[in-house]
Structure 1
Amino acid sequence: MKFFNLLLILTLLIGNTFAQQADWQQEAPGVWKITVGEAQELTLLKAAGITPNTTALEKLSKVDFPLDKSKIKMEVIDGKTYLRFPLRKGEELFGLGLNFQTHNQRGRIMTLHVDHYGGRDNGRTHAPVPFYVSSEGYGVLIDAARYIKVYAGTSIRVDADDPPVLYDRNTDKQWKAQPYSDAVDILVPANGVDVYVFGGQSMLEVVQRYNLYNGGGYLPPKWGLGFTQRVPTLYSDKDILKEAEEFEAHNFPLDFIGVEPGWHSMAYPCTFEWDQTRFPDPQGFIKTLSNKGIRANLWLNPYVSPVAGLYPKIKPFSGSHTVWNGIVPDFTLPEAKALFKDHFKKNHINIGVSGYKIDEVDGFDSWLWPDVATFPSGTTAEEMRQVYGSIFQKMTGDWYREVNQRTYGLVRASNAGTSSLPYVIYNDYYSHKDFITALINSSFIGVLWTPEVRASKTSEEWLRRMQSVCFSPMAMLNAWADGTKPWSFPDVEDQVREVAHLRMRLLPYLYTAFARYQSEGIPPFRAMQLVDGFSVRSEKLAGELDGSENPYASYSTKEVRYQYMMGDAILVAPMFAGEKTREVVLPKGKWYDFYTGKLVGETEVITIQPGLDKIPLFVKEGGIIPMISKRNQMPKTDEILPLEIRHYGTAESNSILYDDDGVTFDHEKGEHSWTTISIVKKGKTFKGTLKIDNKDAFNYEKKVNWKFMTPTD
């Protein structure tokens, strides 16, 4: 018996590795880390190359470790890491990847796996970020480049601290196929993992800490916040220049054009070399566009064609399997990065190309390299799939930083740690409502997501989609397949132009929101759950079951959906084709119509009937909205713009306005301005003032057109 007990102890010691609760180390203010088992050579944060913004983190509120350490369980068994975190009754979980149909993830089982989105929130998505933020004011990140299985309040242990109530299905209508669970269980298929916990006084502060630990959000160039049109696949330089002339003729904004696969001498796989029949003079083409104030963004996927000049050089640094007959460079190797850098700088960046659209780095399984693929670095195929998009973002972003030019592009796959990288996620999915859900969910996980417009069945749908993209991180029409134009539905051309011009006018407000994303970690577009004074929780919908229903299906969830904040003051409530009315949940305080200044409600649910012409926008009490005049391109560095500042409501208030040159990284050296906008009441009237901290970096006229939207009488 003694021998048996000794053997059992030795087996446990050899086969299992337990993390001690005392092993939690404070990495930064409000951020704690623990390594369970063996530290992994490649992780999500290492792939993204993060540099925490400790200065900004120190400015947030002081918090203690937000969880009961004794209830966190971690161990390694047979080469796999098992993690368990406690949950309270009523606690909601947000994040766990870029989800398109759900917000609150409690009660879901997910395998976080980089992939095309397949129409189900099951973890396979473009950004399967293994980070969740709780309504209790904390966040958890699993920093593993693996396919992570998450049981978000679905698994029930025999020794649960808070076991579910036992019901008799025969007699009790409260019986559920999915009983209450008091924990999040996570399985990582690796013999070790880094785990981070983030604290905060609110959900927003938790998200701020997460973003700032990853370096803060990215500040795009001003031109990146203008309008972009992606042209059909086989357009030539002459076709694209004609397209630019059409935008000018229609008085429609255009800041950069997306050049699709036809610019390559071969695509799918790619050569990354200009096709001489369609683009005989690439440098001249880029210069001609630039003279019109338009940038060029090039489509690519990273898979190298056998006919590419790069092929023989990079083949020794590529994986064992191909994608569309192209080799897959191993970008965990410095040699592969250096070869791509030399080629891309010579053929693209040095002649004025402004950025990239990185396609096909996500899935499907039958298209991408298989999990049996090997890479010369020793990185597994699974790890490579989880980080490939992140590494490519970091690599290309660094190239532009080296030439002191900001870029802004599109990517199909991302993961944890990428908030400071210059890319917005997109995909081929096309549900308008689900696009808005994804936009909201992106704010929990430190990525930017943009809807796009490609086609519509009716002019109503066209206008509604265009309204949404103009209130997203990138205003984009993607015409690669059919040559669609913003004016393709003539009966709503004026309304489409109007909302595009409104986006342009909101540049000072939007640019400031992105500047706060960089400096404070506050998402520029964010979920209502991250708004102070928004306390509405999800509701579980129960009901009488009849014989036609599946008694084992999960109960559905009623959530506050399809509305979000842009910056601090503007609530966006998109409309969808076929809708005449909709509900809007107003957070605490008074809210006003953006267009008229009229009071619409206070801490309540309102029903609106806005008509077709405008996207519903609401401004909170005291909201301050800086704007510029209508224009078709974002300003050049030497332009001084007239400034209109709107104030809503009847309260005195303050806000800030950020500015810099809009194109370089000189703002990181102090060449920027933060201006305090103050609104005070003088009798029955308001007066506004500006306090500019750096007039050399303030590109607006000192004389402001103050517009007080809400009557005080």
Structure 2
Amino acid sequence: MRFRDGQWLVAEGVQVQYAEEVYRITPTASGKGISLLCPTRKILNRGNTLNLATLSIDIEPAFDGVLSVETTHWQGAVRRGPDFDLFPAGRPEVDAKVTKTESGTTLSSGTLSATVSGKPHEFEIAFHPTGGKKPLTTLLNRSVGLAYTPAPSTPMQLADMRNFRHYIFTQTTLAVGESIHGLGERFGPFNKVGQRVELWNADGGTSSDQAYKNVGFWMSSRGYGVFVDTPGRVELEIGSERCCRLQTSVEGQRLRWFIIYGPSPRDILRRYSVLTGAPGSVPSWSFGLWLSTSFTTSYDEETVNSFLAGMRARDIPVEVFHFDCFWLKAFQWCDFEFDRDMFPDPRGQIGRLKAGGLVKKVCVWTNPYLGQASPVFAEAAARGYLLRRRNGDVFQWDLWQTGMGIVDFTNPDARAWFAACLDRLFDTGVDCIKTDFGERIPSEDVQWFDPSVDPERMHNYYAFIYNKLVYEALQRRYGANEAVLFARAATAGCQRFPLTWGGDCESTPEAMAESLRGGLSLGLSGFAFWSVDIGGFEGSPPPWIYKRWVAFGLLCSHSRLHGSNSYRVPWTVDGDDQSEEGCSATLRKWTHLKARLMPYLFSQAQESVRGGLPLSLRAMCIEFPDDPTAWTLDRQFMLGDGLLVAPVFEEDGTVEFYLPRGKWTNFFTGEVKEGPGWFAETHGFGTLPLYVRPNTLLVLGKEGETRTVYDYTSDVEVRAYFASDSASAVLVDAEGKTVGTLRVKDGEIIGKELLSGSSVINVVSS
């Protein structure tokens, strides 16, 4: 929200009051932090202390390299939930220290410090590495404040606050050349400077400023990150109100955020994962190809069988088959019952699919809404399982499903009922769940079962409790590391419940680029695993777009063919072109390549979980933070730390991409290009710019491998690319457990005894 009209004027209808000086510094209640009393005018005499607002700024050490900053106007405001589940794995010990000098007061939390200026009648708080003077960012004059709208003409009007909206805001400085990234799955420009961003989950597709996954965490190119600790609506002006500041504002009496020091993006993400939770692990089978029925298409058991038989006949292995919405009877979504007119024997059908080797796992679509035509609607409403309006009515609308209600997950009995419905699906043979929707959660005229929660804070937070419930139900049935979601809505902490996909994109190259930007931004928000609707969701992709998207989608961490009103099996896209450039051949090539990459991918997945890193899409700046160009790249990504991928967006196969410093090797041809620099290539449908980073040991499955799950240490190929004595590759088994490490020492690879079968070692580039 903008509170000013340019640099000099206040916006019409707004009153703004700023923290003008730090009047007093005292210890916080914990005794480890500092509390700043900041009046909204300079106190030059005793009379200045009357009839004015003050802001309290509490700076607390969180753990090494992390400080929390909470600004409060009226301390008596009720603290309503829900709150983010911070430190889910336990809070680390903190080494905090407060020092005072003539120049100011410094609070240190390990490697990060905040220094409050000691100059009289001044407001300035600098955040900097401990022992260093160069600030990461700073709160300067008129950078912390409160605002009313409409502007009261007298303080007496504020005796009744029902007619006023009250905001708290802070403005951290943006340095020259600084770029800002993350904030969830955002489809616009990769660098957020110059943008206005509202953190409010919405079902808005992939081609606007709305997002399904809003995460109040951003990363700066200057070596720090910020996490805004509220699930409510947050409005950000990122160099868009004042060009040199990033403004964060919330409606209410308090605003808390954490500043997280790096200095590298890896360090920032690791610390962020300690704060909000590390990504959950995913099983090796989930990396295989997922095939969907698509959304509004017509299908029954015969159709499903024909899809899977057709894929097998074309040597395209399908790991997971997904039944989208119409496995349920029309108007009865989501009552967890197969439409018996189309699927008379769901348990038998799923059993036959698996027994026949057509597929290993089955996924079904769900959402947290109940259409009133469903037989379970009346039951859920009567038992208090549905969200209500303030007058006691069940909250209903005709958006999406006729008369639909929303499951109230603040009710423990509703959660238990929902989990029991899932258990019945698991009994049928369902292995994983697509948790769709959860964005359009009303925040006005609603009453949750838990009266302590704030409806506005529940809007974004609903995605967390929804996905957590389903993920934990899967864990109880199948094991801690076997649970897999396909979620659309998310907020901070949802990285703990993998995985997510990019939502409803169009079948265009522009939408593919939008999706790529969304995946990059989400990866910089702490999410390790991400997928996209290959071919685009809306519309029917022409063959060339389908094939370009196949290459992109099979190099994401997870890969799913899914559409809206048209199928995504390849032979329906191009009239069953049998050539090597056809859709079937293209899909086969890339599916097989991903199978070969599994020893590398699954090892990298374990590192991603440990470090809070994106496996794919991994922004280039994570691996090359000292290369200024890396912070600008939004049409390419890293797949793990050793492979660079540049999708092709042109029908003629032309593509431009950037290689950082070093000798990079083309995975397909062995050609070496030396960076830094931009390069142009032209590709058919079976290749794209896939370059191996120098000093890489790349472990691959054997030539011709088509499976996703196998022994990743037997019959493998180890390729060395300009590998020096610092090169290594961690070997894992199909459960993700470490088997050992291959290393280069004195020009030789040691640890070869960990490999079995007919494994080979090839020096590709030296």
TM-score of the two chains, using structure 2 as the length reference? 0.76
Are 2:396 and 1:322 equivalent residues in the alignment?
yes
| Structure 2 CA distance for partners of 1:239 and 1:691, relative to 1, 3 Å | same
Q: Distance in 1 between matches of 2:311 and 2:721?
A: 34
**Residue identity opposite 2:533 in structure 1:** E
Separation in 1, partners of 2:286, 2:671: 32
Q: Following TM superposition, by how much is the alpha carbon of 1:533 offset from its aligned partner in structure 2, in angstroms? A: 5.6
Counterpart residue identity of residue 216, structure 2: P
Q: Which residue of 2 aligns with 1:33?
A: 68
* Matched letter for residue 673 of structure 1: T
1:536 aligns with 2:594: no
TM-fit CA distance, 1:389: 1.9
Q: Secondary structure at the match of 1:101?
A: coil
Cα offsets for 1:92-123 (capped at 9, x unmatched): 1111232213111112112221112356553x
User: RMSD in angstroms over aligned alpha carbons?
Assistant: 3.0
Cα distance in structure 2, aligned partners of 1:117 and 1:57: 41
What is the distance in 2 between the residues matched to 1:12 and 1:570? 58
Aligned to 1:394: 468
The alpha-carbon deviation at position 82 of structure 1 amounts to 1.6
Task: Report the Cα offset of residue 456 of structure 1.
Answer: 5.2
Contact 1:44/1:415, CA 8 A, preserved across alignment: no
Match of 2:678 among 578, 590, 605: 605
Q: Deviations over 1:469-517 (max 9, x none)?
A: 0011221111452223133332422232111110111111111121111
Instruction: Summarize the Cα distance change of 1:357–1:119 in structure 2 as closer, same or farther, 3 Å threshold.
Output: closer
Distance 1:462 1:533, change over 3 A: same
Q: Give the Cα–Cα distance (whole angstroms) in 2 for the partners of residues 91 and 434 of structure 1.
A: 23
SS in 1 for 2:52: helix
Deviations 1:210-229 (A, max 9, x none): 13432212221111110011
For 1:344, the equivalent position in structure 2 comes to 422
Identify if the C-alpha distance between structure 1 residues 44 and 465 changes in structure 2 by more than 3 Å, giving closer, same or farther: farther
Matches of 1:616 and 1:513, distance apart in 2 = 20
Shift in Å at residue 259 of structure 1? 0.3
2:23 corresponds in structure 1 to: none
Correspondent of 2:637 among 541, 545, 564: 564
**1:51 aligned onto 2:88:** yes
Correspondence list, 1:102-501, <5 A = 102-117=189-204, 122=209, 124-156=210-242, 181-232=243-294, 233-267=297-331, 269-291=333-355, 292=357, 293-308=359-374, 310-315=376-381, 316-320=384-388, 321-323=395-397, 324=401, 325-345=403-423, 347-363=424-440, 369=442, 371-378=444-451, 379-405=453-479, 406-430=482-506, 431-447=511-527, 448-454=529-535, 457-479=541-563, 481-487=565-571, 488-489=573-574, 490=577, 491=579, 492=582, 493-501=584-592
The correspondence of residues 654-693 of structure 1 with structure 2, limited to 5 A, is 654-662=727-735, 672-680=737-745, 682=747, 687=749, 689-690=751-752
* Whole-angstrom CA distance in 2 between matches of 1:624 and 1:121: 40
> Partner of 1:409: helix, strand, or coil?
coil
Q: Could you tell me how far apart the structure 2 residues matched to 1:227 and 1:203 are?
A: 30
Give the direction of change, closer, same or farther, for the CA distance of 1:335–1:230 in structure 2 (3 Å limit).
Answer: same
1:567 and 1:615 mapped to 2: Cα distance?
Answer: 17
Gap change, CA 1:106 and 1:53, over 3 Å in 2:
farther
| Distance in 1 separating the partners of 2:667 and 2:552 | 16
- Between the aligned partners of 2:60 and 2:216, the Cα distance in structure 1 is 20
Q: Is the 8 A contact 1:56 1:212 kept in 2?
A: no
The offset of 1:537, in angstroms, is 4.4
Distance across 2 between alignment mates of 1:317 and 1:35? 35
Cα distance between partner residues in 1 of 2:386 and 2:144: 36
User: Is the Cα contact below 8 Å between 1:107 and 1:153 reproduced in 2?
Assistant: yes
Quickly say closer, same or farther: Cα 1:588–1:52, change in 2 above 3 A.
farther
Contact 1:590 1:621 in 2 (8 A): yes
Q: 1:120 to 1:256 in 2, by over 3 A?
A: closer
Contact (CA 8 Å) 2:709, 2:734: kept in 1 or not? no
Give structure 2 stretches of 5+ with no counterpart.
Answer: 1-44, 96-108, 115-124, 128-137, 149-165, 389-394
Q: What residue in structure 1 maps to residue 24 of structure 2?
A: none
CA deviation after TM superposition for structure 1 residue 269, in Å:
3.4
Counterpart of 2:81 in structure 1 is: 42
Can you list the C-alpha shifts for 1:394-416, whole angstroms capped at 9, x where unaligned? 11111122234312232221111
Alignment-derived partner of residue 510 in structure 1: 601
Contact 2:695 2:726 in 1 (8 A): yes
Which shows bigger deviation, 461-470 or 517-526? 517-526
Aligned residue runs from structure 1 range 606-625, under 5 A = 606-625=679-698
1:319–1:330 CA contact under 8 A, matched in 2? yes
User: What displacement does 1:590 show?
Assistant: 1.6
Taking a change above 3 Å as real, the CA distance of residues 481 and 457 of structure 1, as seen in their structure-2 partners, is: closer
Give the match's secondary structure for 1:561: coil
User: What SS does the aligned partner of 1:332 have?
Assistant: coil
Counterpart CA distance in 2 for 1:653 and 1:537 is 25
Measured in 1, the distance between the counterparts of 2:220 and 2:276 equals 19
Contact 2:443 2:459 in 1 (8 A): no
Secondary structure of the corresponding residue to residue 759 of structure 2: strand
**1:238 to 1:651, Cα distance in 2 relative to 1, 3 A:** same
For 1:601 and 1:267, the matched residues in 2 are separated by 58
| Secondary structure in structure 2 of the residue aligned to 1:587 | strand
Matched residue SS, 2:496 = coil
User: Residues 285 and 319 of structure 2 are in contact (CA less than 8 Å); yes or no, is this contact kept in structure 1?
Assistant: yes
* CA separation of 1:384 and 1:437: change in aligned 2, threshold 3 A: same
Structure 1 residues 657 and 456, CA gap change in structure 2 (3 angstroms) = farther
Cα offset for 1:36? 3.4
The residue matched to 2:740 in structure 1 has which SS?
strand
Q: Does the CA contact (< 8 Å) of 1:438 and 1:449 recur in 2?
A: no
Q: Which amino acid aligns with 1:328?
A: I
Q: 2 CA distance for matches of 1:425 and 1:8?
A: 55
Distance across 2 between alignment mates of 1:287 and 1:417: 35
Show structure 1 runs of 5+ residues with no match: 157-180, 540-558, 693-699
Q: C-alpha separation between the residues in 2 aligned to 1:658 and 1:521?
A: 20
TM-score, normalised on structure 1?
0.81
CA distance in 2: counterparts of 1:450 and 1:417, whole angstroms = 18
Aligned position for 1:101: 188
Moved more, 251-260 or 99-108: 99-108
